[in-house]
A and B are shown apart, each in its own frame.
Chain A
Amino acid sequence: MPDAPTPRLVYDAFLITAYHDFYKPAVAPRVIGLGLGAALLAELVFSGHLAVRSHEGRDLVLSEPRGGPPRDSLGLWLTELVQGEPEHLAVPDWLEYLAIADTQTKTAEHMVVAGLMVRGEQRSRWLGKVQVTYDAADALIAQAPLARLRRYLSTMDRRMPLLDAFLLALTEAVGLSKSLYSQMPSGAREYAEGHLRVLPAPLQAIRGHLTAAVADTAITGNL
């Protein structure tokens, strides 16, 4: 199986949460939105465009004035939204917003431009409505992010890069632990836990709020 890395965390998160194949199902639509929101936030925190700071018990998302704006429109969109807010909003608020702001379609359109997805249209036979679909341009590349994480877990011979460690945390948080750990050698969970425990505090905060938001979705049934 090829291990060609896709260029961005949010693309990897899309392929893991929204792409379904024989080995892995797609997660519930709202959870996809939450997962992509968490990935986009984490990506911008990692690149230094956003910061997460704890203030009076809340994990607030702040714009980082250092450096220029993100070069891609997806990152720029979120960064400008953060800058445009009159008050700093907390991570759960941003996750909630990104889940309802159709981040899935925005990400998919980006991936079409990047050549990773192919846009299609299906006309409903009964209702006559046109439904837009996004399919992987190459099924093997679409499977690459999960395959990469599983290879880390199966070999356990090297340290995972930080963004892959966060991707692993995200995969667990959206409920795909079974796809991740199935048929892994003993010690894989401890190896993963060792990486997750040392995630930087902002990424830990995003991970924790993503886990809580997914659990809230299960409790309230707000899909």
Chain B
Amino acid sequence: MSAPSPASAVQSALARDKLGTLSLLHFSLTAATPLTVIAGGVVVMFAVAGQIGIPLGYVIIAVSLWLFSVGYTAMARHIANAGAMYAFVARGLGRVPGVAAAWVAATSYCALQASLYGLLGFTAQGLIARAGLDLPWWVWALVAWALVGLLGTRAVDINAKVLAVLLTVEVAVILMFSASNFANAADGLSFGAFAPTALSGEAAGAVLALAVIGFIGFESPTVYGEEARDRKRTVARATLATIGVLAFVYIASSWSIITAVGDDQVVAAATGDLDLMFTLAGEQLGSAWVTIGQVLLLTSVTAAALSFHNTTARYLFALGREQVLFTWLGRTSVRTCAPVAASVTQTVAGGLVLVLWAVLELDPVVHLFYYLGTASGIGLIALILTCAVAVLVYFARDRRDESAWSARIAPVLAVLAMAGVLYLSVLHFHTLLGVEKGSLLPKLVPIVFAALALLGAAWGLFLKRARPEVYAGIGHGAKAPLVQAAERAAVPVGAAGER
């Protein structure tokens, strides 16, 4: 009988330090801020779309993203730098499309983060004006901007703790408001919101685009792939759980608003009162809950701004480390190891947007939050679609022992679903912006993203020709220097050998 192999002390210690599904779920849910989506987005979706099919829109997007996540998490098991979608594009479709995707991704996240300052300034202005201090929206937006900028350059674990507390309180309040709405139904429980006819016409794409933005953050568990307890299962479970939890919260709360107001009245009620969710809570639970809800919305939007700030900073940091963008973006803070140069760059970009909007006296909600936020949504949907295509192509070359469902069927369905969402979003983008069909603005946004992608691709081609060692590291993120060093060391006489 053979003796059992001795246990590895080092591997046991490393395994104890690994992250489980709940830890990854915690990270990804703190990247999403549900109260911002519900109070800041869902009510507006009723008003903009003029339809009650918002819960159905969330069901469709949840299913589409679930299909996408099957192939996405399967591919994450096989590549380095699995936290960034452009890395998937680089490995699946090539480095040149990877750089194009990186440029679109960085711009989209940057714009989405800046757009939140509009909602934040507007909410703070209304709330604090009631306390007797009436200042312009941009003053409060700048205060939040400074806070986010400061926290962004600090150790990220401080941010994670702040976000975790806010998330817990938010979800508890949302569920309480939703339960109260269901308990105070206007016409009993209605399933009309889930009928196919509830989501149709010129507004369907607008609803789907806004619904996608609510789920952004679902992709973050892959960032921790190398630290996951079981790389094969933990990341996939956490991603799926993130989509499931967010879908439950969004569907339940949007359905509860319809139930409380009534199928026929909810669009008019939302159009007349963008604080509908809090108004309902005030009527049902007492006026104090209006203030509590608005204060929480304020902290939620701040948390969302902080979360997207960190996401954008990490994108820029990884691109700096790869030398795809300016190398100085890859600098870290000595004391905290936070990506300080990328964080400051994002802060400066957000500040410029705020100052520009304030000087031009543009509306913080319509022109900043909706226009910039929904425009970034188009970029992010295009990014997810490109990533879905990259997953499909990657596994078409080699299935790498993945199941047919993970490597073939789900990626094909995900490409079809996300292509449909992108098509409808671009087609109905004028509804989202509230402008006439055929006007310039809705056309301008896809053109800007296409131009960015082309410029990124051109830069990728330049790197391929002029700096091949940098080109070799594209998509490898933190590990790019290793790949670049190997590329520099590669000599034609086949000197690879043993070290």
Contacts and interface: CB of A to CB of B under 8 A. Distances in A.
Given A81-B10, A216-B478, A28 B339 contact: no
B14 A219 contact: no
A51 B338 CA distance: 32
B332 A214 contact: yes
A211 B478 CA distance: 8
Given A175-B334, A208-B482, A220-B224, A215 B477 contact: yes
B455 interface: no
Interface in A68-89: 81, 84-87, 89
Contacts of B11: 85, 89, 93
A218 B478 CA distance: 9
The 10 closest A-B CB pairs, nearest first, are A221-B156, A215-B478, A28-B337, A201-B499, A208-B482, A216-B478, A212-B479, A218-B332, A218-B339, A97-B10
B10 to A, nearest CB: 5
B223 A212 contact: no
A141 to B, nearest CB: 22
A111 B401 CA distance: 50
A217 interface: yes
Contacts of A53: 498-499
A223 B336 CA distance: 8
Interface residues of B, number: 45
Given A84-B9, A212-B482, A219 B334 contact: no
Given A52-B499, A54-B499, A86-B8, A218 B337 contact: yes
Nearest to B81: A219
Interface string A198-215: 000110110011011111
Contacts of A52: 499
Contacts of A89: 8, 10-11
B157 to A, nearest CB: 5
B339 to A, nearest CB: 5
Given A100-B17, A221-B157, A221-B159, A175 B482 contact: no
Contacts of B338: 218, 221
A164 interface: no
Interface of B: 5-11, 13-14, 17, 83, 155-157, 159-160, 223-224, 226-227, 310, 314, 317-318, 321, 330-339, 477-479, 481-482, 485, 489, 496, 498-499
A97 B13 CA distance: 7
A53 to B, nearest CB: 5
Interface in A164-207: 175-176, 178-179, 201-202, 204-205
Contacts of B332: 175, 214-215, 218
11 contacts: A26-B335, A28-B155, A86-B7, A93-B11, A212-B478, A218-B338, A218-B339, A219-B317, A219-B478, A220-B83, A220-B223
A178 B83 CA distance: 29
A94 interface: yes
Nearest to B7: A86
A27 interface: yes
Contacts of A211: 481-482
Contacts of A94: 10
B160 A221 contact: yes
Contacts of A84: 6, 9
Main DSSP-derived SS at the B contact region: helix
Nearest to B478: A215
A93 B14 contact: yes
Contact of A100 (B13, B226, B336, B489): B13
Name the residue in A205, A208, A214 with the highest tally of chain B Cβ atoms < 10 Å from its Cβ. A208
B1 to A, nearest CB: 18
Nearest to B10: A97
A25 interface: yes
Nearest to A196: B485
Contacts of B334: 25, 27-28, 175-176, 178-179
A198 to B, nearest CB: 11
Contacts of A51: 499
A30 interface: yes
B499 A86 contact: no
A25 B314 contact: no
Given A86-B8, A208-B485, A215-B330, 20 more contacts: A25-B334, A27-B335, A28-B335, A54-B496, A59-B499, A85-B9, A89-B8, A97-B10, A175-B333, A211-B482, A212-B478, A212-B479, A212-B481, A215-B332, A216-B478, A218-B317, A219-B314, A219-B339, A219-B477, A222-B227
A86 B155 contact: no
Contacts of B160: 221
B321 A215 contact: yes
Contacts of A26: 335
B42 to A, nearest CB: 30
Contacts of A64: none
Contact of A81 (B9, B479, B496): B9
A30 B338 CA distance: 12
A86 B337 contact: no
B10 A219 contact: no
Contacts of B310: 221
A41 interface: no
B483 to A, nearest CB: 9
A218 B332 CA distance: 7
Name the residue in A52, A81, A176, A215 with the highest tally of chain B Cβ atoms < 10 Å from its Cβ. A215
Nearest to A202: B499
A61 B478 CA distance: 21
A31 interface: yes
A79 to B, nearest CB: 13
Nearest to A215: B478
Nearest to A29: B337
A101 interface: yes
A135 interface: no
Name the residue in A28, A30, A81, A201 with the highest tally of chain B Cβ atoms < 10 Å from its Cβ. A28
Nearest to A17: B334
A208 B481 contact: yes
Contacts of B489: 204
Nearest to A60: B499
Contacts of B13: 97, 100-101
Contacts of A101: 13
Contacts of B14: 93, 96-97, 100
Interface in A125-169: none
A171 B348 CA distance: 29
Name the residue in B9, B10, B17, B321 with the highest tally of chain A Cβ atoms < 10 Å from its Cβ. B10
